[in-house]
Amino acid sequence: MATAALLGGVVLIVRATPDADPWVGPLATFALTVLVYGPLLLGSLNAYWDVRRTEESRRYYRWWFWIVVGLDVLAAVSIVVFSVAAASPVWVPVVILGGAALLLTLAVVVGRRLGARDERRPRGDQLLSVIDDAQIRRRILIVALTFVIAMAAGLVVTTLLALAESTSESPGRLVLFALQFAFLAATFAAIIVARPLTLALRESAGRDLGLVRKLARVVLRGQDIALAPDERVAAVRYAVVARTALGFQLGYSTLLYVALLLQYLGVLIDGQPPLFYTVLALALVVVLVVCYPIFIVRIRRAARYAQEHAALLDADGELQPS
């Protein structure tokens, strides 16, 4: 939904300001990205974690809240400057800033309501059962089958439409569209099958945002922080789940970004793409290049931490999965 909102804002600006100077385009790109993903971050924090349980949780959430608000103010200024420079209609900044304010409010309200729901939460050994080898293989198989089925369906639909409309679309163009559809479908499949992993990662810290931040610093960043006995057990449990959950997060993020880059490639084939699409495509590539090494290092650290401290789980009555 966030990606759709971002792309929708890009299309709105491109159509409303076709003669805008290309050099002011990045202002609008920055503004739209912040105005969409800032609320998404705050909503996600409220939905997945108890941000009010401890003082550390409250302090960490306040830190992110004011960062998002500050960036939103900069984004609002950027969109106004862009609108003036591009001589856009008055309704363009009004619609974008009004929508952003509504989105920020809804994100926090909906996030808290989702977080307050009485969900079925995995506990004890159930936290580790979600990363059983057989279940992981099953999840990967579901994503792969979704990709294949969506690819076949995309090829059939695009071919039939091309024949019905008697268009001269090249086979490569049809395959490109089918690939984009397949990657997007696989992204949603991966997000769905990874949900139990996300819940298990959250529950390994008891939904405590402050505690999970502390565990992440120890497990994923390798910091030497003193932990209480119960926190040491939670850290091992967190490491066991994190090494698999982070792998799925990296997987579905890659699938989504590849789908967006294929969309940009399609626009590029059709003609000269607007600067917005070029900036967005470059940003996606930069994010992948930067995030891949970070994710790989953290996955390895989590695996090493889980292996080195496996005895704590055995002592706590939980079995270390293979």
- Please write the tens of the pLDDT for every residue from 83-100: 888 888 888 889 989 988
In this prediction the pTM is 0.71
Q: What is the pLDDT of residues 197-226, one digit of tens each?
A: 888 888 888 788 888 888 999 999 988 888
Euclidean distance between CA atoms 252 and 179, whole angstroms:
15
**Interval 174-200 mean pLDDT:** 90
Residue 252 is predicted with a pLDDT of 92
With cut-offs at 50, 70 and 90, classify the pLDDT of residue 75: very high
Euclidean distance between CA atoms 241 and 245, whole angstroms:
6
Euclidean distance between CA atoms 45 and 115, whole angstroms:
9
- By the 10 Å C-beta count (0-12 exposed, 13-18 middle, 19+ buried), 15 is classed as exposed
Question: Is the pLDDT confidence value at 168 over 80?
Answer: no
Mean pLDDT computed over every residue of the chain: 84
Lowest mean pLDDT among 9-23, 222-236, 306-320: 306-320
Largest CA distance in the chain: 70
Position with higher pLDDT, 57 vs 122: 57
With cut-offs at 50, 70 and 90, classify the pLDDT of residue 263: confident
Query: Between the CA of residue 244 and those of 114, 262, 279, 310, what are the distances in Å?
Result: 24, 27, 32, 16
Residue 251 is predicted with a pLDDT of 92
Residue 247 is predicted with a pLDDT of 92
Residue 322 is predicted with a pLDDT of 38
Q: Are 21 and 86 in contact (CB under 8 A)?
A: yes
Helices (H) and strands (E) in the chain, counts: 12, 0
With cut-offs at 50, 70 and 90, classify the pLDDT of residue 54: confident
**pLDDT exceeding 70 applies to what percent of the chain?**
90
Q: SS3 for 50?
A: strand
